[in-house]
Structure 1
Amino acid sequence: MHRIPPLGALRAFEAGARHLSFTRAAAELCVTQAAISHQVRQLEDWLGVSLFERRGHALRLTAKGVAYLRELTPAFERMSEATTRLYEREQGPLRITVLPSFASCWLVPRLEGFRRLHPDIELHLTSSAELWDFLDDRFDLGIRSGLGRWTGLKAYQLADEALSPVCSPSLAKKLRSPSDLRKVRLLHDTPKDGWRRWLDGAGVDGMDAEAGPAFNDAGLVLQAAVHGHGVALGRLLLASDDLKAGRLVQPFAKVLPNDFSYWLVHPRPLTERRDVAAFRTWLLSEVKSASTDSRP
């Protein structure tokens, strides 16, 4: 029978000892500093030895702590390598699930740039708004909208999102002030309260913001606006290419922040896999270089 302390306590000790900081260990493991301290205390009680000398906020390993760290670090590295090998595939495409609106409006037009950089990496994209929990192996990466809190996943924030009215250039000529929105059709997707909040902030009262047609996809709303069917409360990141090309204009400067951001997520063991790392590096660079600050 193996005599092994709780794995969580071992991880907390190893990270805290390696950094000589419970705060940095907490950041690495995505927990609180108090949780790290509690886990280390639990481990010391389990072992019946002191692993740290605590002098105020300073940490120092005891002799037994030094010896224990020397043994644990290679063990965790071996577990990490074993898990990575489990996820590795000798051949096959990089499988990505992407929100339909993000795929059509932003990602697909830029994929040729990735192909030129990495012609040896084949991509398989699935356009879906389905909430995938990564408990199966259908996909390697996901691009989703949310708060970035997905248990067990590594999440990289791509961009904050903001909402603002956008429309065709011909329709924009009719809009001198936000109150002129009463004269046009308002387009929206879900959730529907965005227009109401934007209009309230712009001082436009007593207007039925939900009278216009609704779409179940942000990309469809933008396409309807491009074709002059009304004014959309557009997601500016998704509208950026149409704004730059002049197919859409932003008639008013007022922007409504969105609570959700766009994120790239994947299981933590895939962090160092070559194709995952290549796509992640390319995507983060593309988002950084893409300007969404289109002027009205």
Structure 2
Amino acid sequence: MYRRLPPLNALKAFEAAARHLSFTRAADELFVTQAAVSHQIKALEDYLSMKLFLRRNRTLLLTEEGQAYFLELKDIFKNLQEATEKLLAKGSKGAVTVAMPPSFASQWLVPRISKFSQAHPDIDVRIKAVDFDEGFLDDDVDVAIYYGKGRWSGVNADKLHTEFLTPLCSPMLFNGPKPLNNLSDLKHHVLLHDSSRAAWKDWLKNVGVQGVNVNQGPVFSHSMLVLQAAALGQGIALGNTVLARPELDAGRLVIPFEEKVESRDAFYLVCDETQAELGKIAAFRSWVLTQVEEEQDVL
């Protein structure tokens, strides 16, 4: 049969007194009198029908039973404190920490973050622009943006935009001396690559174009660097329509051809599956998904 637990105040008094081996120091920590701590310990000993402390020459010692009880309780109190701090951190106010690739941070979130701040003035967004593999999410991050196929265990993953890959270039290049009338004209231009040359190779295969040398042109570590190089007229990028939107809207980049290929990967908003509907995480998640829904039709 379930037995009623001892009063929490008595347990707190015991844990503090056992940790300090002093009723006086426990009283100072708990902001009560020494007599109150002594009273709580006596009540707990009566409840348990055993002695928890011994007094030897003005020294406070734990009995064998008291030592065993303390070792169990100290972990319980530590876990309780950590659970409370975690809950408060996930509450409806404060700060939400979001980790994401630098390109997504600079090209998508940063231009829109003021809208979130206006809608949720009590929540500060802390952006961590980091390079990481699929599946990165730790205790210091409330929400992350992953890029991949959406298959991660133990997390809630919301697909963001349906993305398309298409050639992008500066208006200077488009209107320059080398024509860009059809896809075969790509062979006359420098190709810009994001991380590897495989993307251009796969894209040209999908649209049925041959004779373009994909083994030429610089390779950049981040998508935003590829877009910057293209905007400066350094060559033609194979751009993600989501990340390229600021440059396209500003006229720094243009889409020279109608052909585009849907990307097999996408950006996903990811959080702990137990936290998706709680407090500030739910607020940020809802805002991002609303933004995406409003923008999808113009991509």
What's the TM-score, normalizing by structure 2?
A: 0.66
Q: Map of 1:198-213 to 2, 5 A cutoff?
A: 198-213=203-218
- State the identity %: 40
Q: Which amino acid aligns with 2:275?
A: L
For 1:188 and 1:123, how far apart are their aligned partners in 2?
32
Q: Which residue of 2 aligns with 1:28?
A: none
Q: Which residue of 2 aligns with 1:151?
A: 153
- Picking from 236, 240, 245, the partner of 1:235 is 240
When the two chains are superposed, the root-mean-square deviation of aligned CA atoms in Å is 2.5
Q: Which residue of 1 aligns with 2:182?
A: 177
Q: Which amino acid aligns with 1:119?
A: P
Q: Which residue of 2 aligns with 1:268?
A: 273
1:88 is displaced (CA, Å) by 1.4
For 2:256 and 2:269, how far apart are their aligned partners in 1?
31
Q: Which residue of 2 aligns with 1:124?
A: 126
Once the two structures are superposed, residues 193-246 of structure 1 have per-residue CA deviations (whole angstroms, 9 ceiling, x without a partner) of 221222234443232113000101111111111111110000111111211221
Change (3 A) 1:183 1:293: farther
For 1:104 and 1:128, how far apart are their aligned partners in 2?
12
1:253 equivalent to 2:266? Answer no
For 1:156 and 1:249, how far apart are their aligned partners in 2?
29
When structure 1 is superposed on structure 2, of 141-150 and 123-132 the one drifting more is 123-132
Cα pair 1:88 1:273 within 8 Å, conserved: no
For 2:137 and 2:165, how far apart are their aligned partners in 1?
33
For 2:145 and 2:138, how far apart are their aligned partners in 1?
16
1:253 is displaced (CA, Å) by 1.0
For 2:227 and 2:134, how far apart are their aligned partners in 1?
26
Change (3 A) 1:204 1:134: closer
Q: Which amino acid aligns with 1:284?
A: L
When structure 1 is superposed on structure 2, of 85-94 and 147-156 the one drifting more is 85-94
Once the two structures are superposed, residues 18-56 of structure 1 have per-residue CA deviations (whole angstroms, 9 ceiling, x without a partner) of xxxxxxxxxxxxxxxxxxxxxxxxxxxxxxxxxxxxxxx
Query: Deviation above 4 Å: which 4+ runs of structure 1?
Result: 83-86, 132-135, 291-294
Change (3 A) 1:228 1:98: same
1:161 equivalent to 2:163? Answer yes
Cα pair 1:236 1:292 within 8 Å, conserved: no
Q: Which residue of 2 aligns with 1:88?
A: 87
Change (3 A) 1:146 1:135: closer
Aligned length: 215
Q: Which residue of 2 aligns with 1:103?
A: 105
5+ residue gaps, structure 1: 3-82
5+ residue gaps, structure 2: 3-81
What's the TM-score, normalizing by structure 1?
A: 0.67
Change (3 A) 1:147 1:244: same
Q: Which amino acid aligns with 1:151?
A: S
1:293 is displaced (CA, Å) by 4.3
When structure 1 is superposed on structure 2, of 195-204 and 105-114 the one drifting more is 195-204
Change (3 A) 1:291 1:132: closer
For 2:137 and 2:227, how far apart are their aligned partners in 1?
33
What secondary structure sits across from 1:250 in the alignment? coil
Cα pair 1:189 1:215 within 8 Å, conserved: yes
- Picking from 192, 195, 198, the partner of 2:200 is 195
1:128 is displaced (CA, Å) by 0.9
What secondary structure sits across from 1:243 in the alignment? helix
Q: Map of 1:19-168 to 2, 5 A cutoff?
A: 87-89=86-88, 92-131=94-133, 133=135, 136-168=138-170
